Amino acid sequence: MYEFDWSSIPGALPFLAKGMLVSLEIMVAAVVIGIVWGTLLAMMRLSSIKPLSWFAAGYVNTFRAIPLVMVLLWFFLIVPHLLEQLLGVPRGTDMRLGSAIAGFALFEAAYYSEIIRAGIQSVSKGQMAAASALGMNYWQSMRLVVLPQAFRNMVPLLLTQGIILFQDTSLVYVSALADFFGTASKVGDRDGRLVEMLLFAGAVYFVLCFSASQLVRFYQKRLKTA
Amino acid sequence: MISINNVNKHYGAFQVLTDCTTHVNKGEVVVVCGPSGSGKSTLIKCVNGLEPFQSGGITVNGVAVGDPKTNLSKLRSHVGMVFQNFELFPHMSIAKNLSIAQTKVLGRDLAEAEVKGLQLLDRVGLKAHAHKFPGQLSGGQQQRVAIARALAMDPICMLFDEPTSALDPEMINEVLDVMTELAQEGMTMMCVTHEMGFAKRVAHRVVFMDHGRIVEDDSKEAFFDSPRSERAHQFLAKILQH
């Protein structure tokens, strides 16, 4: 019979907190870059300029057909080499965090762009026509009229995707980056208490993600009644 | 002011507009009518380039709408348009709806744009609603705001695309009154509408369309008293019965 021993957790909390900061950093950076790039992709996808639309469709379909962990691994292995060769970045520079953020952002942008595309399409065509009729150009119409309405409808979906992304950040363990999950597993190994550590880490992920999704639901309800 | 010459438009094999030719002079009010699906809305949307067309030409104040070199945004900024479904911006207050294009397109400063917006809001009888959002107004009120929004750009002419078709009957007159006043002030207007009473009172000319063609283009007296085509006869008989 396995005997649980939780005594190593209190001492590990400072390390775990540092790891949590890394996880949050990756999430926030990837969400922000992902939404900006995803918005551009969605606009390209909906553009009447065919090559732009083809490019965006190809991008989205490619990234959605590849497992995230592979994308992360590629970025971890390939990007440092590329930077080394192209920009002369010295060999051995630690680019794991940057690579991870870039991998997540480019990957998530594919998912965000589909959410944003649906959001843009949910705004009636007449709104674009009205903006154009007032003399606004495409960018002004999008920025001032269409996107604000699209984003207001999409906020719950974007947040939910952000929560999924937060869970996915644990995949950076493939690059041995010390995120929350990576730190938990390292400390667990060190103290020979891996099971307890991972159970604890799982509980933390659950509490954070569950409360976040409850908040999203609350917001969604308020949005509907407003 | 508006000159439409032999305009043709098709979606694939489906011909929407066939050889449409008509003119609207400065200060003239032209009503475009016809059965639904006759191409009236499409024609009026070609005038400010919201709908492209394949052949023929349209000029507004001497500017060729179909020319790829034309700065369409600039042209549209002084051609007012009012839509069937109002199309106010729901995420902005009424005041903001009136000022946004003035500041972002015409480059007016905000204070000036707000004063201008309030004046026009007052003119359509809605000054007290400036702080509200479009969803809080009735359809008739929203459409009056939409007219004020177009007027805030100091348009050289106004296009109306079935401005009363989406309104409850008791709200139609408040919108028509604003349009009538505008016409009496000498605004150049092209109106797609089924309101024949408005046409009789206000229009100088009536254009009647059927199956994408302009079938009649005449003074309102000639159109209502003795329409030349059988199709217009039938249309008027049906509409005026009520």
Which residues in chain B (97-156) have CB-CB distances under 8 A to chain A?
100-101, 104-106, 149-150, 153
Q: What is the pLDDT of residues B187-198, one digit of tens each?
A: 999 999 989 999
Range of the domain at A119: 12-225
- Map tokens 């954070």 to a residue: A208
Whether B153 sits inside 8 A of A135 (CB atoms) is: yes
User: Is the Cα torsion angle B76, B79, B80, B81 positive or negative in sign?
Assistant: negative
Taking residue A64's Cβ as centre, other Cβ atoms within 10 Å add up to 12
Task: Verify whether the Cβ–Cβ distance B149 to A126 is below 8 Å.
Answer: no
Report the candidate in B141, B112, B143 with the shortest Cα–Cα distance to residue B127: B141
Q: Would the pLDDT of A88 be above 80?
A: no
**Spacing of C-alpha A138 from chain mean position:** 28
The CATH number for A104's domain is 1.10.3720.10
The domain made up of B2-240 has a fold known as Rossmann fold (3.40.50)
Say whether pLDDT at B70 is over 60: yes
Residue B241 has what pLDDT? 62
Cα angle: B26, vertex B27, B28; to 5 degrees: 95
Whether residue A4 is contained in a domain is answered as no
How far does the CA of residue A28 sit from the closest CA of chain B (Å)? 27
Sign of CA dihedral B203, B205, B209, B213: negative
> Is A29 part of a structural domain of the chain?
yes
**Confidence label for B131 from pLDDT (cuts 50, 70 and 90):** very high
Tell the residue number behind the tokens 């007012």, with chain if given: B80
For A179-223, the pLDDT digits (tens) are 899 999 888 888 888 888 999 999 999 999 999 999 999 988 887
Q: Min CA distance, A148 vs chain B (Å)?
A: 8
What is the separation, in whole angstroms, between the first and last Cα of chain B? Answer: 35
Write out chain B residues lying below 8 Å of A150, CB-based: none
Closest chain A residue to B103 measured between Cα atoms?
A136
Helical axes A147-168 vs A96-122, angle rounded to 10°: 140
Question: Which residue blocks in chain A are alpha helix, DSSP H?
Answer: 8-45, 50-64, 68-87, 96-122, 125-133, 138-140, 147-168, 180-191, 194-225
Q: Which of A173-177, B10-14, B71-75, B174-178 has the least mean pLDDT?
A: A173-177
Rounded to whole angstroms, the Cα distance separating A151 from B189 reads: 36
Q: How far is Cα of residue A1 from the mean position of the Cα atoms in its chain?
A: 40
Helix H, strand E, coil C: the string for B79-96 is EEEECCCCCCCCCCCHHH
The span from the CA of B176 to the CA of B197, in Å, is 10
Domain count, chain A: 1
* Whether residue A91 has pLDDT greater than 80: no
Q: Residue A132: its chain B contacts at CB < 8 A?
A: 50, 72-73, 76
Mean pLDDT of chain B: 92
CA A110 to chain centre: 10
In a domain, residue A1? The reply is no
Torsion B21-B25-B100-B152 (CA) sign? negative
Stretch 158-217 of chain B: residues touching chain A, C-beta under 8 Å = none
Cβ pairs A/B, distance under 8 A: 62
| pLDDT of B134 | 94
Q: Where are the domains of chain B?
A: 2-240
C-alpha to C-alpha distances, A161 to A46, A56, A146, A156, B13, nearest whole angstrom: 21, 20, 21, 9, 43
Report CA-CA distances (Å) from B26 to A198, B62, B158: 79, 12, 11
Q: How many Cα atoms occupy the beta-carbon half-sphere of A24 within 13 Å?
A: 9
Q: Sheet containing B213-219: which strands, arranged edge to edge?
A: B79-82, B157-161, B189-192, B29-33, B205-210, B213-219
